[in-house]
Structure 1
Amino acid sequence: MKVLVIGGTGNISRGIVAALQHRNHEVVLFNRGQHRDPPPSDVRIIHGDRQQRDDFEAKVGAEEWDAVIDMISFNAEDAASALRACQGRVGHFVHCSTVMTYGPPFSGINLPETAPLQGESGYGLGKVAADNLLLESHARDGFPVTIFKPSYTHGPGMNLLRQVGGDGSWIDRLRKGKPILSAGDGLNYFQFLSSRDAGFAFTDILGRSNCFGEIYNIVHPQARTWDEWHRAAAEALGVDIEIVHVSQETLIAMAPERFSGLRGNFGHTQIFSHEKLAAALPEFSPQVPVTESVAENIAWMDKHNLIPDSDADDLEDQVIEAVRNLPRIR
């Protein structure tokens, strides 16, 4: 198949490109050519900025595509432009949405694709608008769209994240034997999927007409706690870990500029059902061990000097010391 990936150099995208090449598809990318990591040398690049609508639509619309995977559509305007470029010229169009369309606030756990769309962030609302426009085009005109909703997908191309946010200096803290913070009791659940595994789901759905007009959560079927995730990072580094638990609201009260983001994402248990995708794509089963995928992610951060010196910012140490020195009832 001749497959266009709009984007193609980010975290999930590089897993998709690798999987497409593994399946012997012809891969073409559309992007600005500005990513720090060049794509594989045997991949054709169409350079452009999708925000330059006329240029984007002319370049993408100049060819016929067996499939298009859109990784950088964030609102209805982006989706409408993709429709104008691809309508009548694509066999299958896959749009990357997000589980942030469901919340927070989330309506429950193990959420299926029919769950209420309660996301309040600009990111989530923009994806809802893009999803709706594409689904309306399918219902009205038969546009062959499938929508994937990833949760946290990790790998080379972005920093390895932890629950309380911040930059990559938490990896330096682990290497130096410093304790790290965790919000609450560390038992909030999340689903952590390797971008290598995600790439095969995006690839292997292509051409399946029974998936047109459908939405699929693309998540790891095994939920992990944040403490388990942090321990996986320590295992990948070959170090011990000390986790200091502090309530989310206490963290936000002590340093709102650092920790307020917890309310908008990682401070919530997030589990989404994978059953619909498993039924449509029974061969999809994540294979990459978590310590291996985490180690790959950290190696990429090291390569690009994205792990700052944790000694340069002592806020975490101050929070940990303050909590440890709180008076206790004996």
Structure 2
Amino acid sequence: MNRALILGGTQFFGKRLVHKLLENGAKVTIATRGRTHDDFGDGVERLIIDRENKESMIKAFDHKQWDVVYDQSCFSPLEAKSAYEALHGKIRHYIFTSTMAVYEFGRGKTEEDFDPLSYEPSFKERKDYKGISGYQEAKRSAEAYLFQNADVPVAAVRPALVIGIDDYTERFLFHVKKVKNEEPIGIADPGYFYSYTSAEDAAGFLYMAGEKTLTGAYNAAFEKSLSLNDLLLKIGCAVGKKAIVTREIAKENASPYGLSGEWTLNVSKAESAGYSFEELDPYLEKLIEVMKKET
């Protein structure tokens, strides 16, 4: 894997992926809208694209070749289709960053619980996929398009809820702030369990998928899952406050993790491929210690 193209790559675990590729000697190109500053210096080639404009990608990718493309910025199957068609004949491996949201709610989800080869994709613009159900359909349909149509090896990495110190969504930080400030958090069922993964592991597994030319779907998560109750208890112990949970949910107090069901992943397939995930509890403790100083 000497030449890698990343669609996206300037935020969160995408940045870690770029740095990991550079550290291992890859020649890296990032293709973005050019709106987000990065710290890669002269180490990368930069292309300007619009994921919703196929012609911009055809122009940017003209007369170029890569061993692998990491698709980090796809939010509709139309974007997957346009990117693949613009890259046709220019890549040897397509790695798609998907999500555990492709599964129905439940515990211990394995890769076989969603089969993109038998899913009938929809093709709408990203603005037409609204809410969690829209996000779910968009990622399912993008996976389905790629697995059903690509003539190069395809891998779909399905991370759990990704956490880390520089998460631009601030979903985890939301909970730390609320607990520290003794403000109520709106959650319908705090007993629900969820799987999480670190930004470092999300990037690390994506890198390995390219290095080993993995194909098919892979879950990425800590082996251990955690209920929202237990998460809030850990935060409370760290900040010396007790979390206040309410079932009276409003826009200002609604937990970003307060979903209508629970999602946990089985990661035995990824581990069998040779990846070792970090341990959840030590990672959480360090993350909370950093974040409590930011509030």
Residues 298 and 43 of structure 1, relative CA distance in 2, 3 Å threshold: farther
Contact 2:236 2:242 in 1 (8 A): no
Q: Which residue of 2 aligns with 1:130?
A: 142
TM superposition shift of 1:243: 1.9
The CA deviation at 1:16 is 1.3
Which residue in the other structure is 2:30 paired with?
29
Specify the SS of the correspondent of 1:44: strand
| Alignment-derived partner of residue 114 in structure 1 | 112
1:149 counterpart = 2:158 = yes
The whole-number CA distance in structure 1 between the counterparts of 2:236 and 2:27 is 38
CA offset digits 1:104-149 (Å, max 9, x no partner): xx2x3101111157997111101111111100124xxx32211111
The verdict on how the C-alpha distance between 1:293 and 1:20 changes in structure 2, with shifts beyond 3 A counting, is farther
Q: Say if 1:159 and 1:84 are closer, same or farther in 2 by CA, change over 3 A.
A: closer
Whole-angstrom distance in 2 between the partners of 1:32 and 1:259: 32
Change (3 A) 1:221 1:40: same
In the alignment, residue 49 of structure 2 is paired with which amino acid?
G
Match status 1:283 vs 2:270: no
CA distance in 1, matches of 2:180, 2:255: 25
- Is 1:292 the counterpart of 2:286? The answer is yes
- The residue identity in structure 2 corresponding to 1:251 is E
User: Distance in 2 between the 1:297 and 1:240 partners?
Assistant: 14
Identity of aligned residues (%): 18
In the alignment, is the contact (CA less than 8 A) between 2:75 and 2:139 conserved in 1? yes
Task: Report the Cα distance in structure 1 between the residues aligned to 2:291 and 2:46, rounded to whole angstroms.
Answer: 25
Number of equivalences:
276
| Other-structure match for 1:323 | none
Per the normalisation by structure 1, the TM-score is: 0.73
Indicate the residue corresponding to 1:190 in structure 2.
Answer: 194
**What do residues 161-220 of structure 1 show as CA deviations (whole Å, max 9, x unaligned)?**
25xxxxx565444444x25436356332111211112111000111434x32x1111122
**TM-score, reference length from structure 2:** 0.81
Name the CA distance, whole Å, in 2 between partners of 1:173 and 1:132: 39
The equivalent of 2:171 in structure 1 is 161
Give 1 or 2 for the bigger CA radius of gyration: 1
**DSSP 3-state at the match of 1:216:** strand
Paired with 2:263 and 2:177, the residues of 1 have a C-alpha distance of 27
Aligned-pair Cα RMSD in Å: 2.9
Q: Which runs of 5+ in 1 are unaligned?
A: 163-167, 308-330
Preserved contact between residue 76 and residue 138 of structure 2 (Cα < 8 Å): yes
CA 78–133 in structure 1, closer or farther in 2 if over 3 Å, else same: same
Shift of 1:226: 1.6
Hey, what's the Cα distance between the residues in 2 that align with 1:46 and 1:172? 37
Q: Measured at CA, do residues 102 and 283 of structure 1 come closer, stay the same or move farther in structure 2, by a change above 3 Å?
A: closer
Paired residue secondary structure (2:230) = helix
Distance in 2 separating the partners of 1:111 and 1:278: 15
Q: Which residue of structure 2 lines up, in the alignment, with residue 327 of structure 1?
A: none
**Structure 2: runs of 5 or more not aligned:** 120-130
